[in-house]
A and B are shown apart, each in its own frame.
Chain A
Amino acid sequence: MVFSLIALLLLALGGSMTLLFATVLERNPVMTAGGGLGVAVLALMFFALSYEQPGVLLGMYQLGGLSAIGGMILSLIAALTILGVMANPHKYRAGLSEIYALILFTALGGTLMIGANNLLLLYIGIELSSYSTYILVGYYRDERYSTEAATKYFVLGALASALLLYGISLLFGAGGGLYYDQIAATLAAADTLPALLWPGLALLLAGFGFKLALVPFHAWTPDAYQGAPTMAAALLSVGPKAGAVIALGNLLTQALGLEAISGVWQQALIWLAVLTMTVGNLQALNQRNLKRLLGYSSVAQLGTIIVGLAAGTLAGFQAVILYALGYAFTNIGAFTSIAALRDAGVGEEVDDYAGLGKRQPQAALLFTLFLLSLAGVPLLAGFAGKLFVFKSAVDAGLIVLATIAVLNTVIAYFYYFRVIVKMWLQPAADEAQPVNVNAIAMTALALGVIGVLVIGTFPGPFLEAIATALEPLGGLIIVGR
């Protein structure tokens, strides 16, 4: 109980203090960054300590177990993002301390949604992380693309929030309460399921669909990614999504785990997954801008994660969380590479990466490893996540879904390898010079690669920890079909 509280307070107060003393802190950027990083790392440690201390905070927030794991993932995401920002803080002209505060708030929001036991707290968590990222996307306020990206993201995000809230209100009506266990109990006791439940569920899934950028709710993604500052895109691609996907799994299994209902959301998730993977991958094929390419790739990746939820089993949920962890390391790493190379004078178009293997072999090697992990090459985190997600789908009898998912990885290979081919197999343009990458950025990249390799080669301990955390949910999850 104590440790979770400390961790949550660290994120909340750390963020608030950085905001409050922004003007003072601005004079000493190194200390500010160090403070932000310190808060994130400390929060990570306290979440880790709280893992074995289950409890409930104010009746609506689960402590320990799953929420500790979620907190760790989110704090990790915050720490890696802050490290990426630190590599070149001067480009965030709209104020430096605020950016750290917003990153911490995004992590806090994600943690709140994962641990939430109550629909309103879930909503608050989602909004907290959404609002933080709205601002971060528009952080280059004097740049047209950044502002446009933020506007698009905000308008669609607000729509999504409205859908979510409407869905929550219907679910409140159908379930007779805001607490997950309350809803589950009411629905289980009802002779016939209330009709209100279905529109509520649909609106809820649509809302989550927007937040997770699932097809057909993904239209905002590529523009937001391309226009946003690269590190904001990095955070956007993993932070709110890791939070939302675990929160969605938690909500569906704990509140709506009844077999009559789970069949419906499983079916919906299957279709969302198929559409998201296929459309995301196909659209990524022809992208010339790397950030857009990674934007569509993250759409497709989320589709693959959803396969694990669609399986509707404990193993599937377990795979989803491991996938999210590996994906956090991988995608932040990929975006940090782009940001660092951009600072070193390499453009963001795929063509600008020609011959990078010769011009900057170290950074090119690390970026390649991130891309290989995204593609799902064995012994890297991306493969472990995919393997377990596919395994859970096959074990749940969803062979067709699994087949579509693995075929999608072939498409995905194609565009990830297009970048790799550019870097290693094509000569640099004539005037291309060697590239010098900032030492902090290289440290961030190296940390990312270590994470990718550790999760990829030894996923066992992580899986066990996740499985233990999921055990309390066991009874509420409908196994197999």
Chain B
Amino acid sequence: MISLLIFLPLLGAALMPLFREPKAGKWLALLISALTTLLSLGLWLGYDLTQGGFQYLQELPWIPSLGINYIVALDGLSLPFVFLTALLTLVSVLAEWQRDDKGFFGMFLMMQGALIAVFVALDLILFFIAFELVLMPMFFIIGIWGYDQRRYAALKFLLYSLIGSVFLLLAILATAFIASGGGMISFDYRLLLTQLPAIAAAKGVLLLISSGFLVAFLIKLPAFPVHTWLPHAHTQAPTAGSILLAGVLLKMGGYGIIRFNLALFPEAMLSLQPFLATLAVIGILYGGYVAMGQTDLKKLVAYSSVNHMGFVLLGIASLTAFGVGGAVYQMVAHGIITGLMFMLVGMMSQRTHTRTIAAMKGMYSAMPVLGGLMWLAMLGGAGIPGMAGFIGEFQALLGAFQNPATAVFAVLSVFGILINGGLMLWTIQRVLQGEPSVQMQENYDLYDLKGLELAAAAPLVALAVLWGLWPPSLSPYIDRAVQPVLELVTNVTKVAGF
């Protein structure tokens, strides 16, 4: 079943060049992304929460002589992201329905397959391959279909990610080698989890190896100071590219840290805790601060992502159940809300032919539905109670307060909430309130959301509210997966004499 989620989109992408009719591409993309969304929802609902652990396991030999196999499964950590990937692909296809370019939709399907493979892979080499493969379609989506500076943005995105990947590859190879203890090398994640003492015994290189993982994931997240690719990539990417970039691609970073760094190198995480928390706080404060200074609406949303991802890192760095669970919740919420925000910004700039904040005034009065949704998304981004973003941020902060080692960082981060809230309210004031300028009203047709656009936005709005009001629909799954990981960490803390 899981393999269907990976290979159906990849098959669709492979079939794309065979169509003569350019319009056929988007219908195929719609069909496949709708199918995978339903399928992933079905898998979620069918997940046995009482049993927990990895379910829907599928294991096939791939290169058995080198210990590389095709192993995929779902747990509470990967379920939300798999669903998010499928859903956001569907939303992206709907949001870009005016395009007739089959190459464009082929790239999206390829990216969807690779992204789902990232979240379900239980073999480290398989994970790495998927992690790398995500880069290619995104590179072309930004580079071919992006805005004016697309080439620069695409290359920057590629090279940043690549530098992370090469260290990741080295770290994966070294981890498997150390864990094997001279015996048969295996890249099976479950097997590596049983070899933790062997990994922990490699004291001298432990920090180095775990840093290899960490570098790749921090670049992806992105954390300060390796976040500089993000604003360019976001501003230059087409709308659907931004939605997937913010919605899912960044999540590979947080997911990776929890799945690999936390589980395989708990000791190293403990010693890196102050460092990570510092990066997180800088990301929160600096991201919000820089976002304030932006004149381009899309760039503003991009920098606010740096702020949001800071909370994710803070939650993880707290090494508490609340914190890590909150980090995952925050990632999911950010995927939904920021995805919505990028989509609305894209639709707005399509109508106004500008992304400059100063030129967009009174959008609410000109387009009440679009403006109203934007209002909602902005408030969600500010983290008001009742929307998904609040739960995540609150949990992450709470977790950080719980751990004395990170409490001071949590105090500092509270100012970040203030900055971010102010930013969002100020943006609402500048963009949504008032009356649109005469020049804009005369020159452009400021029509409100059409049926299809509304359909693209609807599931995101619904989920942002659902997961804001009713966390039990999401958090038990996350907690179920995060608990065992944190037990590993607490074992270490006990040993370390905390």
Which residues of chain A have a CB within 8 Å of any CB of chain B?
365, 372, 377-379, 383, 387-388, 390-391, 394-395, 399, 402-403, 406-407, 409-410, 413-414, 417, 421, 424-426, 458-460, 463-464, 467
Contacts and interface: CB of A to CB of B under 8 A. Distances in A.
**A-B pairs with lowest CB-CB distance, top 8:** A378-B129, A406-B166, A394-B173, A460-B63, A425-B143, A378-B132, A425-B151, A391-B173
Given A379-B133, A395-B177, A464 B65 contact: yes
A365 B14 CA distance: 12
Contacts of A459: 63
Given A378-B129, A406-B170, A460-B64, 18 more contacts: A377-B136, A378-B132, A378-B133, A387-B125, A391-B173, A395-B177, A399-B170, A403-B170, A406-B167, A409-B166, A410-B162, A417-B155, A425-B143, A425-B150, A426-B151, A460-B62, A463-B65, A464-B65
A459 B136 CA distance: 21
Q: Which of A377, A406, A410, A459 has the most CB of B within 10 A?
A: A406
A328 B31 CA distance: 39
Main secondary structure on A side of the interface with B: helix
B177 A417 contact: no
B169 A399 contact: no
A421 B146 CA distance: 13
A463 B155 contact: no
Main secondary structure on B side of the interface with A: helix
A387 B129 CA distance: 10
B9 to A, nearest CB: 15
B62 to A, nearest CB: 6
Interface residues of B, number: 34
A237 to B, nearest CB: 25
A421 B143 contact: yes
A83 to B, nearest CB: 23
Contacts of A388: 66
Given A390-B169, A394-B177, A467 B159 contact: no
A417 B158 contact: yes
B388 to A, nearest CB: 33
Contacts of A383: 129
A464 B66 CA distance: 10
Nearest to A406: B166
Contacts, number: 76
Contacts of B61: 460
A397 to B, nearest CB: 9
Interface of B: 17, 61-66, 125, 128-130, 132-133, 136, 140, 143-144, 150-151, 154-155, 158-159, 162-163, 166-167, 169-170, 173-174, 177, 185, 205
Contacts of A421: 143, 151, 154-155
A293 B167 CA distance: 26
B3 to A, nearest CB: 14
B443 to A, nearest CB: 28
A402 B128 CA distance: 17
A407 B63 contact: no
A330 to B, nearest CB: 16
Given A388-B66, A394-B177, A421-B151, A413 B162 contact: yes
Contacts of B150: 425
Contacts of A414: 159
B159 A410 contact: yes
Nearest to B187: A391
23 contacts: A377-B133, A378-B130, A378-B132, A379-B129, A390-B173, A391-B66, A394-B173, A394-B174, A394-B177, A395-B173, A395-B185, A402-B173, A406-B166, A406-B167, A406-B170, A410-B159, A413-B158, A417-B155, A417-B158, A421-B154, A425-B151, A460-B62, A467-B65
Contacts of A394: 170, 173-174, 177
A377 B139 CA distance: 13
A403 B211 CA distance: 14
Contacts of B66: 388, 391, 463
A424 B143 contact: yes
